[in-house]
């Protein structure tokens, strides 16, 4: 028996997990990205290291995605 409210809650949780971490990562990358582009304007060789620094906050979205995937594909079918 599927519990529609429970299922909805799980789906919403998954959405919040991805959405909130996405915003968080964007806030971090905004600052780092503009600084990295500033350095690249001076020295194009910085591209590789600039990319590395820019994507560091992105891990948080990936964690959010993992949480969302587990919610959707593991928790949801059990409800």
What is the binding site for another protein (CB under 8 A)? 45, 47-49, 51-52, 55-56, 58-59, 62-63, 65-66, 69-70, 72-74
For another protein, the closer CB: 38 or 49: 49
Q: Are 31 and 53 in contact (CB under 8 A)?
A: no
Report the sign of the C-alpha dihedral through residues 61, 65, 71, 76, in that order: positive
Tokens standing for residue 49: 């290291």
Helix or strand holding residue 62 (H, E): helix 59-70
Q: CA-to-CA distance for 11 and 42, rounded, in angstroms?
A: 46
For another protein, the closer CB: 5 or 44: 44
Min dist. Cβ of residue 74 to another protein (A) = 6
Min dist. Cβ of residue 72 to another protein (A) = 8
Min dist. Cβ of residue 12 to another protein (A) = 18
Tokens standing for residue 76: 């949801």
For another protein, the closer CB: 5 or 78: 78
């Amino acid at each position: 028996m599927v519990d529609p409210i429970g299922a909805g809650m799980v789906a919403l949780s998954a959405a919040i997990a991805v959405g909130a971490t996405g915003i968080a990562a964007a806030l971090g990358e905004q600052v780092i990205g503009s600084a990295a582009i500033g350095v690249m304007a001076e020295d194009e060789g910085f591209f590789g290291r600039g990319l590395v620094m820019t994507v560091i906050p992105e891990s948080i979205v990936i964690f959010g995605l993992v949480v969302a995937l587990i919610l959707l594909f593991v928790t949801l079918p059990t409800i």
